Amino acid sequence: MIRRAAVPVLLVAIAFPAMGRCQTATLYGTVRDSATGAPLEAVRITLPGVRTVAMTNAAGRYRFEGVPAGQVLVSVQRFGYTPRADSVQVPVRDSLRVDFVLAANAYYLAPVIVTAGKRSQLVDRVVASVVVIPDSEIARRAVTTIDEAVDKAPGVQFLGGQINIRGSSGFEQGLGSRVLLLVDGVPANQGDRGGIDWDLIPVDQVQRVEIVKGAGSSLYGSAALGGIVNLITPDIPDGAHGRIRAVGGTFAPPPHSIWEFRDARGALERLDVSGSYGGDALRAAIAAGGWHSDGYRQQDSSDTWELSGRGDWYPSQSNRLHFLASWVSHQYEDPLRWCEFGRCPGDSGLAYQPFLIDTAVAGAFTRSDKGLFAATFEHRPSETASSWLARGSWLRTDFTDIRRPTGEYGVSNREGLELRGELESASNPGRVVTVGTELTRSDVTSDAFGIHAEGAYAAYAEGEQPLGAAPVRVTAGARVDLLNVDGGDISAVVSPRIGAVVPKGRLVWRASAGRGFRAPSLAERFVQTSLAGITVIPNPDLVPESAWSFELGNFAQVASRLTTDVALFWTEASNLIEPSVANGAEIQFRNVTRARLAGVDAALAFFPFTQRLGLKLAYTLLYAEQLAHDTVPEQPLAFRPRHLVTAAADYRLGRFTAGGDFRFMSRYERVELYPPSDPILAPKVLDLRARYDTGMLSVLLRAQNVLNYIYNLVPQQLAPVRAVSVTATVSY
């Protein structure tokens, strides 16, 4: 994580002269890179005190209409650059051009984040470890779904589509994520399985991702056991904007002829369009697209269609109604497990054929449709006054699995309501209290999970209090969740958190202790199915998992071009839900495991030779132990690597940028369900990219797993091989 020791306060209050709407003017200009002179896209231009916001286009241009005449403060921000603010005199009924030049710096993090405290906070006041993936990083990598970008964050790892933050989840077949997904602050884990659909929001609709590590249930409740991922959609800029993006690519063939399984290379194609319009009172954006992939192995093709929209209505200066709607249909073949010897035609006498599929799972296919609708009403008189918001949300997932001999289906809904207030003390500047209440209801109708519903009713409060002259900031709060399943007994879960931030010159120390929990998903409680003759039976008596997380962290601005962030973490978990043997020959989810996850997270960002070259390195050391219980001795938790290393580099020269990502993880110390013939590897994966921008057009060449390292992270599932793609984007 990269944090800032001192963030310039740009959003100073500005008083506009009282004047009528006729006394307005036009403000426009360009924003360029100080080193290269290249225009900068996606720079956020705001006029503090006014709700107006604009984003620069590919030519670096921005424009405001109807700016009140008089003295106006213009704030300019972009990730990876030092923010600027200028005060300008806007003439009446005229146009004023104001150009800006931004200098790149070592700070990769936005100065303000919104997830850690359920409110806007300067990042050096947050008691937890936070990673921010800005839009510039998402764009540089040209990812298809947002998990591809999240996977590059320090201390984060994906196993079979399941996110791990500091080893939180391991590999649980997608059930019961111990990480909470938010979309603009709205909880969006599935209502039935508790897992995460990473394609829920089109990647173009994500402006940045905030990742909070460690237990976060004191504000967010269930599932925030190991951390929180918040996908934040962008502001809609003034005026009309549009974009068309086309992607074409191909997968590398197997590196050994004995593994070949088709005559042609697999292809991938994508096309999407988006448009937006921002006016004084109304703003709206819409995006639609689809993509197809042949896949890189047998039985691996997929098609996806997506449609999303966002809008804002400002009935007055201090009120805003924001809505978000998204629908995605993903239809894909399921390469459930590769072919072991004797399990498919064409095994060629090999122990395993990673590109071929076990005959027993041939024809497996899934259709997964999902939709999210959320509406939020905010009342915020000014940046420093008390405010409140109310929101409602509806998440629906609908899946159909086609398997042999029979398939499964499930329809699930998750509805949520929240009322939240942010109270600022007039007599004690810096004291902030956040209070709120939440109501969540989930239901499922499925042949495997039955028909069930659960509710959660919660209230929370957290306060921040500055102490002393060099302000030590203390944060404390708690949340109470009342849980109910199918109208039965109500159980209560209390999740407190306390923490402090202590600035010391170029250092910022932080410490926190908090409790997290995860309520059992409806699927874990009520699943009743048969897998290859083995019966899975329900367990309605499951209780929530819980964990205490402790963290001591330090951010340091070592030099103008070097920042570091180090955190020691320690988590004690109990009642973890794991599949267990019941009655000798049945499987049942049970609260069995006590576990300890401890280690070190370290990251640094620097410009070693020139501002044109930025480097980031991150390392996570993890000790993950399942503690002794019943007859099971203490042993390593399955699917947790001891060492995880990520490195990223980006070089900019004029309109040209190039970069890459490297990732290494050590071998698992323990696995489950691996066939004896299946080797356990220490994967090393290198991605490269190059981009050229000219006017409204940008072209990006991307090579994933460029060395074509053949590996797997979960049993009998080949990880992606080398893929080369070209992305062309035209923006207006």
Give the residue among 425, 370, 445, 442 at the shortest CA–CA distance from 221.
Answer: 442
711 binds another protein (CB under 8 A): yes
Q: Is 405 helix (H, G, I), strand (E, B) or coil?
A: coil
User: Maximum Cα–Cα distance for the chain, whole Å?
Assistant: 84
- In this structure, the number of other CB atoms found within 10 A of the CB of residue 406 comes to 10
Stretch touching another protein by CB under 8 A, among 29-37, 302-310, 338-346, 410-418: 338-346
583 binds another protein (CB under 8 A): yes
676 binds another protein (CB under 8 A): yes
- How far, rounded to the nearest angstrom, does the alpha carbon of residue 97 sit from its chain's CA centroid? 37
Q: Which of 32, 292, 403, 684 binds another protein (CB under 8 A)?
A: 684
Closer residue to another protein, CB minimum distance, 58 or 587: 587
Contact by Cβ (8 Å): 276, 237 = yes
Number of residues that bind another protein (CB under 8 A): 46
Nearest-approach distance from CB 678 to another protein, in angstroms? 9
The residues near 653 (Cβ < 8 Å, ≥ 6 apart) are 36, 612
Single-letter residue type at 525: R
259 binds another protein (CB under 8 A): yes
Stretch touching another protein by CB under 8 A, among 179-187, 213-221, 488-496, 578-586: 578-586
- What mask of x and - would describe binding to another protein in positions 39 to 68, judged by CB under 8 A? ------------------------------
Closer residue to another protein, CB minimum distance, 522 or 587: 587
Contact by Cβ (8 Å): 290, 308 = no
Instruction: Identify the H or E element spanning 149.
Output: helix 147-150
Stretch touching another protein by CB under 8 A, among 473-481, 510-518, 539-547, 674-682: 674-682
Please give the backbone phi and psi of residue 141, each rounded to the nearest 5 degrees, phi first.
Answer: -90, -10
342 binds another protein (CB under 8 A): yes
Closer residue to another protein, CB minimum distance, 488 or 608: 608
Tokens representing 688?
């490269």
* Rounded CA separation 718/36 (Å): 42
Stretch touching another protein by CB under 8 A, among 139-147, 417-425, 453-461, 530-538: 530-538
Closer residue to another protein, CB minimum distance, 48 or 160: 160
* Rounded CA separation 453/331 (Å): 27
* Rounded CA separation 630/714 (Å): 27
Nearest-approach distance from CB 521 to another protein, in angstroms? 22
Nearest-approach distance from CB 390 to another protein, in angstroms? 48
Nearest-approach distance from CB 702 to another protein, in angstroms? 17
- What mask of x and - would describe binding to another protein in positions 399 to 438, judged by CB under 8 A? ------x---------------------------------
The dihedral built from the CA positions of residue 558, 612, 45 and 135, taken in this order, carries a sign that is negative
- In this structure, the number of other CB atoms found within 10 A of the CB of residue 426 comes to 10
Closer residue to another protein, CB minimum distance, 64 or 352: 352
Instruction: Identify the H or E element spanning 503.
Output: strand 490-504
Give the footprint of another protein on residues 172-191 (CB under 8 A): none
677 binds another protein (CB under 8 A): yes
Q: Which of 73, 710, 713, 724 binds another protein (CB under 8 A)?
A: 710
Please give the backbone phi and psi of residue 561, each rounded to the nearest 5 degrees, phi first.
Answer: -115, 15
Contact by Cβ (8 Å): 238, 65 = yes
* Rounded CA separation 518/571 (Å): 14
Q: Which of 37, 381, 679, 695 binds another protein (CB under 8 A)?
A: 679
Give the residue among 469, 397, 398 at the shortest CA–CA distance from 430.
Answer: 469
Residue where the block lists tokens 């231009």: 45
Give the footprint of another protein on residues 618-647 (CB under 8 A): 647
Q: Which of 59, 681, 701, 730 binds another protein (CB under 8 A)?
A: 681
Nearest-approach distance from CB 357 to another protein, in angstroms? 14
Closer residue to another protein, CB minimum distance, 279 or 636: 636
Closer residue to another protein, CB minimum distance, 453 or 649: 649
Measured between alpha carbons, how far is residue 342 from residues 497, 667, 712 in Å? 54, 27, 20
Q: Which of 686, 703, 713, 723 binds another protein (CB under 8 A)?
A: 686
Contact by Cβ (8 Å): 570, 213 = no
List interacting residues with another protein (CB under 8 A).
256, 258-259, 340-343, 347, 349-352, 354, 405, 530, 532-535, 581, 583-587, 608, 647, 649, 662, 664, 675-677, 679, 681-686, 707, 709-712, 718
